[in-house]
Amino acid sequence: MMNKKNHHDEADEIRAETAAEAPELAEHDRVAELEKLLEDANAKSLYAAAETQNVRRRLEAEKQQAAAYASTGFARDMLSVRDHLARALDHVPEAARGDEKIKSFFAGIEATLRELDAVFARNGIVKVESIGQPLDPHRHQAMIELATNEAEPGTIVEEMQTGYMLKDRLLRPALVAVAKAG
């Protein structure tokens, strides 16, 4: 520490002597030093402005993502409602569908199911294609393998539960059966 102080003291003495002997050199050194300080301050200012702009862009992107996918939980809950309606219609015997007393009841359930599908479509919720497609672990969940010669191994031959996407994100994977060599 003592050496540094002595070194600084010596530098100050040399500057003072130089300033006394040639005042225009001391003035020039002072201007150069101030210009360097100004350059440093400008560089820091530009860096801070760029960083602020990057943070602003990041926050805007996160805000858009949050708005686009805010309904994810609600959409997943509504999928189970859709599943129950579809299962109810699938389990109605054909004889009951022809009964005039009950016919309008089933027509109402079918209309409700169509409207729910329309609401899903308007909100970017679409079904995942499965039957006949190759297994995609990002969209499908293989539940069983079925031995068959009718489809290439790895091809989906049966869908147990429909999968859905919300825009470009998986909302629920399709539960499927995949062909294996028979």
Domain boundary (43, 66, 89) is at 66
Predicted local confidence at residue 20, as pLDDT: 57
* Distance of alpha carbon 77 from alpha carbon 85, whole angstroms: 13
Domain boundary (44, 66, 88) is at 66
Q: Could you list the residue range(s) of the whole structural domain that residue 160 is in?
A: 125-182
For residues 83 and 115, state if they share a domain: yes
For residues 38 and 81, state if they share a domain: no
Domain boundary (39, 66, 93) is at 66
Q: Is 124 left (phi over 0), alpha (psi -120 to 50) or beta?
A: left
User: Quick one: DSSP state of residue 129?
Assistant: P
Predicted local confidence at residue 2, as pLDDT: 47
Predicted local confidence at residue 181, as pLDDT: 84
For residues 59 and 6, state if they share a domain: yes
Predicted local confidence at residue 18, as pLDDT: 54
Q: Does 1 have pLDDT greater than 50?
A: no
Q: Does 22 have pLDDT greater than 60?
A: no
Half-sphere exposure of 143 (CA within 13 A, CB side): 11
Residue-wise pLDDT tens digits, 27-42: 778 888 999 999 999 9
> How much is the average pLDDT of 61-66?
87
Q: Is 92 helix (H, G, I), strand (E, B) or coil?
A: coil
For residues 45 and 101, state if they share a domain: no
Predicted local confidence at residue 176, as pLDDT: 97
Q: Does 11 have pLDDT greater than 80?
A: no
User: Quick one: DSSP state of residue 135?
Assistant: P
